[in-house]
Amino acid sequence: MQKITSFLWFDNQAEEAVNFYCSVFKNSKTGKVARYDEAGSKAAGRPVGSVMTASFQLEGHEFVALNGGPIFKINPSISFIVNCRTASDVEELWNKLIEGGTALMPLDKYPFSEKYGWLQDKYGLSWQLIVAMGEIKQTIIPSLMFVGKVAGRAEEAINFYTSIFKNSTVGNIFRYGAGQQPDKEGTVMFADFTLNGQWFAAMDSAHEHKFNFNEAISFMVNCETQEEVDYYWNKLTGNGGQESQCGWLKDKFGVSWQITPTVLTKYINDPDAKKAKRVMQAMLQMKKIEIAPLEEAYANA
């Protein structure tokens, strides 16, 4: 299991989107599907028995898709870079993902790659497809674009995240030069970094955008102990972050995280519907997740 799982919020298309992505990427597989019980249904306004979450893998990268209703919409502030070996691989993925979607940067040759394109697919999810230079260490890389009020803070965010997660490094940083307005000289044109050994990317953009970070794409931190839950919760909500419900939070840059004990996922997917329901009811009362009450709810006959 990845330490950090990319979590996607859909209205009611999670299962459809998962099947689409798994049909597009050759190295893919579907995982567990959790369905809404009465408690979850009431909280989310979704039908009892309908798909709540569906896990899946694309090129070894773990995702979870949620049917959460129309509250949040996926936007390009967080996209996924796909490192390809050849131009034909880029073109093949582009032709599949662009169906019903929109080109954000046309598929073409650029100074940084012989073939690159940025698109938003029919579900709103954004992909940057590129012929990678050199060794491919990770095929799919989440990429954060700092815009609006947080434009110019990408490097600060990278330093913040790498100070929190173990086994983290700062990789390459390419900066805007003079005359590249509206971006300020010295801010991040592109950078990559690792968190717990997983690669991420970040960039600043001072251009006018009609979107910001929101809950539609979040990063779920899988925790084994209450000590881990407390650590990540306190670190990521610190210095201006915001607590939310059910293990969700926003950090000081507006990026959404879920600090989730692995036992919660295990309990909610338990084949004993009564146990799963009690755990769900307990979790819905929480902001930061507390493992002990979950265990008590699970064990309570």
Give the whole-number percent of the chain exceeding pLDDT 70: 100
Q: What is the average pLDDT across 196-212? A: 96
Q: What residue type is assigned to position 101 of the chain?
A: G
Angle made by CA atoms 193, 195, 196, in degrees to the nearest 5? 140
Residue 301's pLDDT band, with cuts at 50, 70 and 90, is: low
pLDDT at 179 over 90: no
* Residues forming CATH 3.30.720.110 domain(s) in the chain: 78-204
> Which of these, 10, 7, 24, 16, lies nearest to 63 by C-alpha position?
7
* Residues forming CATH 3.10.180.10 domain(s) in the chain: 4-70+214-299
- The fold of the 4-70+214-299 domain, in CATH, is 2,3-Dihydroxybiphenyl 1,2-Dioxygenase; domain 1 (3.10.180)
Predicted pLDDT at 110: 94
Task: Compute the CA torsion angle 41, 75, 128, 23 (nearest 10 deg).
Answer: 30
pTM of the complete model: 0.95
Q: 95 burial class (0-12, 13-18, 19+ CB within 10 angstroms)?
A: exposed
Residue 291's pLDDT band, with cuts at 50, 70 and 90, is: very high
Enter the CATH code of domain 78-204.
3.30.720.110
Question: Higher model confidence: residue 74 or residue 32?
Answer: 74
